[in-house]
Amino acid sequence: MLFKKAKTDFLEYLEIEQNRSQKTISNYDHYLTRLLDYSGEELDVKDIDPELIRKWRLWLNRIGTNTNDNLDSITINYHLIALRSFLKYCAKRDIKTMAAEKIELARNKRKQISFLNPEELSRLFEQPDTKNLSGIRDRAILELLFSSGLRVSELVSLNREHVNMSRREFMVRGKGEKDRPIFISQDAAYWLKRYLDQRQDNSKPLFIRYYGNKKTDTTGDFSRLTPRSIQRLVSKYAKLAGIIKHVSPHSLRHSFATDLLMNGADLRSVQALLGHSNISTTQIYTHVTDPHLKAVHEKYHNKQHG
């Protein structure tokens, strides 16, 4: 069977039988199409073997991105994970090809966690010009990202009716189509209410842009801020605040998690608030946030010089 035809069947299987999100299906389509880009449209599923995968990995490593000369190992692993899932599907359908277990993922270096301390957060929040509506919007975005731990994709998908301002909480659907509760601080609620009270439009999105096409649209999706817009916004204010380190929307999610842990929150609760399916993902924060370790160090280390 041609890989192109089997890929289409696989993506339909993900949608209908696995009930995977459209974002996941789109990503898998993108990663698997890269194999066709390398091997050609006539690739047959039975011709997928370890040597083809080895050469494809080399090709992936060298194709690069807009900002780098080659793909990082995490991105290459996303391609391999998609292919492994496809091969498992083939095995279920008795389509002859190589075993998924033969594909080994690249070892990744653990990324250093980038988070802001309270003084940096304070400086960041002070940067938007709150004399105008876009500045109030930007302050609300910064406060909400830190207060809630939202992913940037979750933030931009919010509509006005999603947020319960009186209870300061709402539900969001995150990765894997899993719902989780979101709670926001009084500061975030204040700036969000101030922003919404000054809105003169009927657009549904919680956060909209104030440039470009000004036509009225009740759906508002033409004016919805994109993840890239939020990334640029956060980066701009971080530079204005004199913060040298790289700051992204995810840095504020990291800051949310580290703030909770540093103040004594338990790991399981933080896992739930972040929407992590596996607690090992949440454990990346513990080496920088465990206050108990500092107390042990101060109590027991080098006492002969005390």
The set of catalytic residues is 151, 175, 250, 253, 276, 285
- 179-183 and 169-173 beta bridge pairing: antiparallel
The SS3 of residue 73 is: helix
Locate all alpha helices (DSSP H) within the chain, ordered by sequence.
Answer: 3-16, 22-39, 50-63, 73-92, 118-125, 133-148, 152-156, 186-198, 227-240, 249-262, 267-274, 279-282, 286-289, 291-300
Say how far apart CA 245 and CA 233 lie, in whole Å.
15
Closest CA to 62 of 53, 71, 74, 50: 71
Closest CA to 35 of 65, 4, 9: 4
